[in-house]
Copies of this chain bind each other. A is one copy, B any other.
Amino acid sequence: MSLVAQLQTALGAQAVLVSEAEVAGYLQDWRGRYGGPAACVVLPSCTQQVAAAVRIAGRLRVPVLAQGGNTSLSGGSVPWPDGAAPMLINLARMRAVRAIDTANDSMVVEAGCVLAAVQQAASERRRLYPVSLGAEGSCQIGGNIATNAGGTGVLRYGNTRENVLGLEVVLPDGQIWDGLYRLRKNNTGLDLKHLFIGSEGTLGVITAACLKLHPLPTAQAVAWMAVPNPAAALDMLALFQRRCGASLSAFEMMNGPQLDYVLEHVPGRRAPLPASYAWHVLVELADSGAEPALTGALQETLQQGLAQGWVLDASLAASGPQRAALWALRHSVSQANKQAGIGLSTDCALPVSAVPEFIERATLAVHRVMPGLPIIIVAHLGDGNVHFIPLIPFAGFGPWSAVADRQATASAASAVRQAVHAVAHALSGSFSAEHGIGQLLTQEMARFKPAVELAMMRGIKGLLDPQQLFNPGRLFPAVATTRTSAGTDVEGTSDE
């Protein structure tokens, strides 16, 4: 029997999509840059169905591609144009909240739960699920876990990895691993969930997770600061950490050009300060308790910053709507940049202390390739995560007008990305902080990962997926890579 016939027998016809019209929506990424055909699209409604489908694909040696909300910025969750077309498993039907245990601050959810729905279910029980990112309205928790999603809450609450207590996974051999532990401490052997978190679908299909919840903050305080430079922003970060401790919940930096693009291209956004500045920081405190205490702490810290010269001007939100307006500036960067030009996005992580030097050296490196190119910077500064984005304005930029010569642009874009990654690496940084590898950065894996580390990863891959069927060509570099070029994704504007 064929793959489809076997799947239909095992799962029922309605769980297996084959017609072109039905499968079309699953084959391309949301930006239309990556994609390819699938042997079929499976929509399982339970873990057993996932396992059955995986066993069938394994017997027939058909590649397996798990897909969540399909919001990957690295081409990790759609099929490929060449080679064997995969069985695509979309988890959207598995979206139950299986249990919430408020006394344990945990909830068990299926992989297809949309992140916003997870946040909502937690908040209805006065709990916080703290992972928050631009795609939260459509990305799914299974994908969040498979890519160890980051976002704006990492400074205080950690990445997705730090908010997972347990996992249920269908392994490549079709066995179900019930690792849905709900425990804060469990020293009984290797902690295997960490292998699957961030494995981008290469080691199995995550079908459910037990998530860690936190008390829901009852008070917020938000301010916008202009600072003279990134080093001063770091001084303010240290000051906030010292004075405000654990209530510091966001510390987001952007440069002047980034704010200008937001104000220019996104309707309804208003300048947070009366004058123009080179560097900006949005800072948020959040905690249990009452608002006046937080606002007071924020105000005092800002005053100290002003006195030190680390802050040039600041505006403190006086109400919920004002807080939302400041956050809206931050959340509008992707939309603004898309309209401003072609962003040659990068997603680097640095030791926090190295961010100023990174920005300086990366700017020089980019301008060696494309002199004078505008560079927009938006950073989760508290995490050392810098989205460093050389941007070719649609207005045109000398020889690199995107419209004029797409091929030359693509080649320059590749050179620019490689240069930025090399600077990050030289400063003990990473070429992918939160967006993962997907297919965009596999060559950078070959370029930068220590051989001994890559060999261990390949060993684990071979152990769990000896047929190499799970999301082939993703995460791991090709074995005989030429080590010459980075991804050539010229429109990778991904700035959250």
Contacts and interface: CB of A to CB of B under 8 A. Distances in A.
Contact of A245 (B217, B241, B456): B217
A328 to B, nearest CB: 24
Contacts of A437: 187-189
B384 A184 contact: yes
Interface in A425-451: 428-437, 441, 444-445, 448-450
A179 B456 CA distance: 12
A297 interface: yes
Contacts of A450: 177-179
Total copies of the chain: 2
B459 A187 contact: no
B190 A195 contact: yes
Contacts of A349: 183-186
A159 B194 CA distance: 15
A468 to B, nearest CB: 15
Contacts of A199: 190
A475 B188 CA distance: 8
A147 B179 CA distance: 20
Interface stretch (A100-108, A314-322, A331-339, A396-404): A100-108
Interface string A154-175: 1110110110000000010001
A297 B287 contact: no
Interface string A440-483: 01001100111011101101100110000000000110000000
Given A289-B243, A432-B187, A352 B445 contact: no
A467 to B, nearest CB: 15
A115 interface: no
A431 B189 CA distance: 11
A457 B189 contact: yes
Contacts of A187: 147-148, 150, 198, 430, 432-437
Contact of A184 (B177, B185, B247, B352): B352
Given A104-B351, A190-B198, A351-B104, A184 B242 contact: no
A150 B288 contact: no
Given A183-B430, A189-B437, A189-B449, A351 B101 contact: yes
Range of interface residues on A (Cβ < 8 Å): 35 or more
Nearest to A448: B188
Interface in A72-90: none
A184 B385 contact: yes
A303 to B, nearest CB: 15
A182 interface: yes
A176 interface: yes
A198 B192 contact: no
A408 interface: no
Contacts of A405: none
B191 A161 contact: yes
B242 A104 contact: no
A407 interface: no
Nearest to A178: B450
Interface string A9-22: 00000000000000
Interface in A332-391: 349-354, 380, 382-385
A7 interface: no
Interface centre among A184, A215, A437, A459 (most CB of B within 10 A): A184
15 contacts: A105-B241, A148-B191, A150-B187, A159-B185, A176-B452, A178-B452, A183-B350, A185-B430, A185-B433, A188-B441, A189-B453, A191-B198, A194-B194, A194-B195, A456-B463
3 residue pairs, one from A and one from B, having the closest CB atoms: A245-B288, A194-B194, A103-B353
Interface of A: 101-106, 126, 147-148, 150, 154-156, 158-159, 161-162, 171, 175-179, 181-192, 194-195, 197-199, 215, 217, 234, 238, 241-247, 287-289, 293, 297, 349-354, 380, 382-385, 428-437, 441, 444-445, 448-450, 452-454, 456-457, 459-460, 463-464, 475-476
